[in-house]
Chains A and B, each alone.
Chain A
Amino acid sequence: MADWVIEAREIKKTYRMGEFDVEALKGVSFTVDRGEVVSIMGPSGSGKSTMMNTLGCLDRPTSGEYILDGESVAQMNDDQLASVRNRKVGFVFQSFNLLSRLTAIGNVELPLRYAGMVEGRRERAIASLEAVGLKDRMKHRPYELSGGQQQRVAVARALVNDPAIIMADEPTGNLDSKVGKEIMSLLLNLNKERGTTLIIVTHDPTIAEQTQRVITLRDGLLESDGYEKQGKTKK
């Protein structure tokens, strides 16, 4: 049996909009191996965001099975989901989402705080900041950092709990192309060094090109799933 970190089976998600039910996902199945780099693409309305929310355990599918790192999360309650997010998922957002009241190190520590960790917390946060090359800026607040630096702090925050997957939602969307490239290479390097599975949601083909595999969604269904570089095929 393959070492799947993500196993999604027939995932459906229906939203109720007023009197109408809107099917955002109409039954999507795929698996992701541990250590893979996958980009999820698709035009707006394709169910891309819903897929990301489901994979990131921010939301439950209406039906279907989702197993993340050996845990079946489709039927979990809110607090169980929170715990799974805390332990297994690291988020990198387009708009960084750092808390402006906290310093860089404070932001990186947050997931550890919610994990109930007290001892060694600071050390781990520092190590995480070091991994993104921002150890010297740890006392700075977000508004004292450039956009690229802020996104690096966000990456450090995503790493700090040593998660099974990192979900990056348009990680370079708010950055100019040069800084965007730096962030991409940072993420890819971390994947190489640590073997952390990386899932990037994007609409930018140049980003998708840098990943081993591209999953494309359209109208709530899987349109294509291809291993471009390695040329592997998979159902």
Chain B
Amino acid sequence: MKFSQALLEAIESLNGNKMRSGLTVLGIVIGVAAVIAMLAVGNGAQASITGSISSIGTNLLFVFSGAPDQGGPGGPGGGGRSGNNVRPLTLADAEAITDRFAAPSVDLVAPVLQGNGTVTFAGENSTTTITGVTPAYYSVRNLELSEGEFVNEEHMLGRMSVVVLGPETADNLFGRHDGVTGESIRIEGQPFRVIGVLVAKGGGAFGSEDNGVYIPFSTAQARLIKREARDQVDIIFAQATTAESVPLAVEEISTIIRQRHRTDIGADDFTVFTQQDFLSTFATITGVLTIFLGGIAGISLLVGGIGIMNIMLVSVSERTREIGLRKALGARKRDILMQFLTESSLLSLIGGIIGIIFGWLIAFVVGQVAVASGTDFTPIVGSDAIILSTSFSAAIGLFFGIYPASRAANLEPVEALRHE
């Protein structure tokens, strides 16, 4: 019997029992849709995190105070952590790193002080991150201005009361983020003049940079963010000259600070982190997450496959007489085998196709919900996920179809014909 005929008969047979076929297909649909959607969400999360880490700067290095094994990056506002025998990072450390000869791979250095505070304008107030920055911070962190100017040397020298606003903070205070330059706001009760507004970057891995105010480092040091040690800084951001020189820059910075802090090798009281470290850390996390989600979805696909096997077994026992008759009319084992395998594969294939569409839809809806709730997150339906789930579902149809089909094929014609 030709395959096209087997296919036609399978369609006829499945069509003859629409309700049952539909429910069986549903199991596979849910499984495949879940796999597609979960992998899409996982991939989307990965891409979104990778994107936001890349957006914080190029070839970026972070220097924190504290030994590497005392925990990972503290993030903004986590500075000033001091354990035993930990010397805080200072402005002098930052200046030493800028030394072209000691650290040729380091391009720009931007020490910052960070704290939280209340910002007010005309009765509107907002709690936000206050960052004391140097002019270099602008290029190190890849910032962009939508209006006005950034903190410059003059502001630094004069310890001037000027502030650059993140767009979200501007929205919170003014209800808009344009045309606010020149306004006067209060930070912790002290008056500051707005000199610029940043372009929105979206949520980052280190909290949103859009929600924050940026003031000259010297001003922050003198008036807003007090630290125990003189000239203490919370984080030093440094930019390597090229992507290739990032590991070199790490070495140079480490050597300089080790000398300055007089620590032994292996007893560092600071940590140098690179973007790459963050990327690989998060890649590991999202990778595990994706596998976890995909695995759960895979289980539902497996359950769908068992559903197929179940229904095929029922079908075989219901159609025992039919099988006997077909054998009496000259059907060979492989004819019967093919007939039932075609049916089960067809079930899973149809389920797979509908599942892909459905999974895509779910991923799309998740994306829309994420956008609606202000998260910059797009699920990615990869061709790998489609190929994976399609081949997996077809394999499941075959695998779970083989047992019922071979049971049918091996029925004795005499016994089968006698079956009621």
Q: List residues of A whose CB falls within 8 A of some B CB.
A: 53, 56, 58-59, 78-79, 82-83, 85-87, 91, 93, 97, 99, 101-102, 110-111, 113-116, 118, 157, 161
B285, CB-defined interface residue at 8 Å: no
How many Å from the CB of B418 to the closest CB on chain A? 9
Contact A83 B328 (CB under 8 A): no
B81, CB-defined interface residue at 8 Å: no
Residues 391-420 of B, flagged 1 when their CB comes within 8 A of A and 0 if not, give: 000000000000000000000111001000
Contact A99 B325 (CB under 8 A): yes
* Residues of A with C-beta under 8 A to B16: 101
One of A59, A87, A97 near B414 (C-beta < 8 A): A59
B326, CB-defined interface residue at 8 Å: yes
Contact A58/B1 with A82-B331, A101-B13, A157-B329 known, Cβ cut-off 8 Å: no
B327, CB-defined interface residue at 8 Å: yes
* Residues of A with C-beta under 8 A to B326: 110, 114
Contact A82/B414 with A99-B325, A101-B12 known, Cβ cut-off 8 Å: no
B5, CB-defined interface residue at 8 Å: yes
Which 8 pairs show the lowest CB-CB distances between chains A and B? A86-B330, A114-B330, A82-B332, A79-B332, A111-B329, A58-B413, A97-B325, A58-B414
The complex places the Cα of A99 from the Cα of B333 at a distance, in Å, of 19
Contact A58/B331 with A101-B12, A116-B1 known, Cβ cut-off 8 Å: no
Contact A91/B414 with A99-B322, A113-B5 known, Cβ cut-off 8 Å: no
Contact B328 A58 (CB under 8 A): yes
- Please indicate which of the listed interface residues B5, B328, B412 has the most CB atoms of chain A within 10 Å of its own CB: B328
Contacts A82-B333, A101-B12 given; 13 further ones with Cβ under 8 A?
A59-B413, A78-B332, A79-B332, A79-B334, A82-B331, A83-B330, A83-B332, A87-B330, A93-B325, A97-B417, A101-B13, A110-B329, A114-B329
* Residues of B with C-beta under 8 A to A53: 414
- Please indicate which of the listed interface residues B329, B332, B417 has the most CB atoms of chain A within 10 Å of its own CB: B329
Contact B332 A58 (CB under 8 A): no
The complex places the Cα of A157 from the Cα of B413 at a distance, in Å, of 18
The complex places the Cα of A138 from the Cα of B322 at a distance, in Å, of 20
Please list 7 pairs of residues, one from A and one from B, whose beta carbons are closer than 8 Å in the complex, sorted by A's number: A58-B327, A82-B332, A85-B327, A85-B330, A101-B12, A110-B326, A111-B330
One of B2, B5, B329, B335 near A85 (C-beta < 8 A): B329
Contact A113 B414 (CB under 8 A): no
The complex places the Cα of A101 from the Cα of B325 at a distance, in Å, of 14
The complex places the Cα of A14 from the Cα of B86 at a distance, in Å, of 94
The complex places the Cα of A118 from the Cα of B321 at a distance, in Å, of 26
How many Å from the CB of A168 to the closest CB on chain B? 13
Contact B333 A78 (CB under 8 A): yes
The complex places the Cα of A229 from the Cα of B101 at a distance, in Å, of 125
Contact B330 A79 (CB under 8 A): no
Contact A85/B328 with A58-B417, A101-B12, A114-B335 known, Cβ cut-off 8 Å: yes
How many Å from the CB of B349 to the closest CB on chain A? 21
* Residues of B with C-beta under 8 A to A93: 325, 417
Contact B321 A97 (CB under 8 A): yes
* Residues of B with C-beta under 8 A to A59: 412-414
How many Å from the CB of A122 to the closest CB on chain B? 13
How many Å from the CB of B272 to the closest CB on chain A? 74
* Residues of B with C-beta under 8 A to A116: 1-2
The complex places the Cα of A79 from the Cα of B12 at a distance, in Å, of 26
Q: Which residue of A lies closest to B15 (CB)?
A: A101
The complex places the Cα of A99 from the Cα of B12 at a distance, in Å, of 12
How many Å from the CB of A154 to the closest CB on chain B? 10
Contact A114 B331 (CB under 8 A): yes
One of B1, B13, B322 near A114 (C-beta < 8 A): B1
How many Å from the CB of B21 to the closest CB on chain A? 13
Contact A82 B330 (CB under 8 A): yes
The complex places the Cα of A111 from the Cα of B12 at a distance, in Å, of 18
The complex places the Cα of A201 from the Cα of B5 at a distance, in Å, of 34
The complex places the Cα of A20 from the Cα of B413 at a distance, in Å, of 23
* Residues of B with C-beta under 8 A to A83: 330, 332
How many Å from the CB of B145 to the closest CB on chain A? 73
